[in-house]
Amino acid sequence: MNSSASSVDATNSVPSTSTAFSTESYFQSQKPPPNLEDKCSRIQAFVDRWFNVSTKRVVLVTSGGTTVPLESNTVRFLDNFSAGTRGATSAEYFLSQGYAVIFLHRIHSLRPFSRHYSHSLNPFLDLLSIVSSQSASSDSNRDQIIVSPEHATRLLPVLRAYNAAQDAGSLLQIDFQTINDYLWLLKRVSGIMAPLGRRGMFYLAAAVSDFFLPEDKMAEHKIQSGHGTLSLEMDQVPKVLRPLVQEWTPEGYIVSFKLETDPELLIPKARAALSRYGHQLVIGNELHRRKYEVVFVERADYGNGVSSASTTTTPRKGAGDSRLKGVETPPVLNADVASKQLGEIYRETWLRLDDLVPGDQDGMDEVEIEELIVRELVARHARWLEASKKTP
């Protein structure tokens, strides 16, 4: 959901009378981005390579916000808040779990590994020191740059993991900017990944605009001021989750995110999305709590990766994080509720960092909620694969 887009729509435009785009009419009428084929060749080569390694699972991680241009020669566009933290962080954990990762991200948003040294939070120049040569004959060209020892300890595991991903060729990074780039890429990537069958996972964490300006309604040149207020009438972006699930990649394990600012809406909207699109899992998050808690909403039946044993698990606060406890423990289930809506049984599982380490704020710094999310997903994906072996 692009909150900027919807607020512009609500305050500046007359109610929309235009017919909604179907997915089909969208792709018939909106041109593909110019570099789409190059990107798709790189994705195809990456998927072909890992297709041949039969035990390898491949995940598409989408990350960051989509822009909505207001002009073809774009000076202005609508954007949203997403920095790409969820996607970049999750990609690292998927790599550490042995996945090959296609990281489809908003250009200039956070990326796996380099996110630890973002220019605003932790500029890399601050990590470095100059060591001057002691020799009398030395000149400034002999000076060396080193990572200051106090930073090296934190950098080392990041650099090791980054090098490992580079050497293995297990991370492919592809960028997008506009909502149109994103939709075309999502369609094509999911088609390219379809032959992977159940080995493919889709982790749709990008903050996708709900509204856009179609090409035929967009100004060609910079919109001029001097005519008073600006009114925008935007069309609704088609819901591509349905064709993604039903046509583009019917066997993939598909995880979408639902973002709300009203906590009351989170679970009903997540359930409605599951019911409407028929995919495996919706992860609900509230804007301000998203780094500390999320809720997994899924159908409590066999075959979608939910284990029968865990559907009756009672809440166990504080259990679960092996890094904190130093032992392998079962997943964190802070609240676990089976409920009924629209004739289907749903199951909600909350993952919460602050319940995980009560009162231990120092410890919380070290734990990222994405580690817990990814651990849960890897287990569900494994069960999803197993289920296909039992029911041919």
Residues forming contacts to ligand 9Z3 in the complex (CB under 6 A) are 1, 82-86, 204-205, 207-208, 256-259, 285, 290
Task: Measure the CA–CA gap between 199 and 353, rounded to whole angstroms.
Answer: 29
The DSSP call for residue 206 is: S
Inter-residue contact 72 to 112 (CB < 8 Å): no
Q: What's the angle, vertex CA 171, arms to CA 160 and CA 303, rounded to 5? A: 115
Output the smallest distance, CB 238 to ligand 9Z3, in A: 12
Inter-residue contact 351 to 293 (CB < 8 Å): yes
Structure tokens at 298: 């899924």
Inter-residue contact 177 to 106 (CB < 8 Å): yes
Alpha-carbon distance values, 251 to 100, 146, 194, 256, 275 (Å): 18, 49, 7, 15, 17
Select 50 or 211, whichever has its Cβ closest to ligand 9Z3: 211
Select 154 or 290, whichever has its Cβ closest to ligand 9Z3: 290
Select 99 or 203, whichever has its Cβ closest to ligand 9Z3: 203
Output the smallest distance, CB 156 to ligand 9Z3, in A: 25
Output the smallest distance, CB 112 to ligand 9Z3, in A: 13
Select 85 or 304, whichever has its Cβ closest to ligand 9Z3: 85
Select 51 or 181, whichever has its Cβ closest to ligand 9Z3: 181
Output the smallest distance, CB 272 to ligand 9Z3, in A: 10
Task: Measure the CA–CA gap between 339 and 178, rounded to whole angstroms.
Answer: 38
Output the smallest distance, CB 348 to ligand 9Z3, in A: 16
Select 293 or 321, whichever has its Cβ closest to ligand 9Z3: 293
Q: Within 10 Å of residue 263's Cβ, how many Cβ atoms?
A: 13
Output the smallest distance, CB 363 to ligand 9Z3, in A: 21
Write the burial class of residue 171 (CB in 10 Å: 0-12 exposed, 13-18 middle, 19+ buried): buried
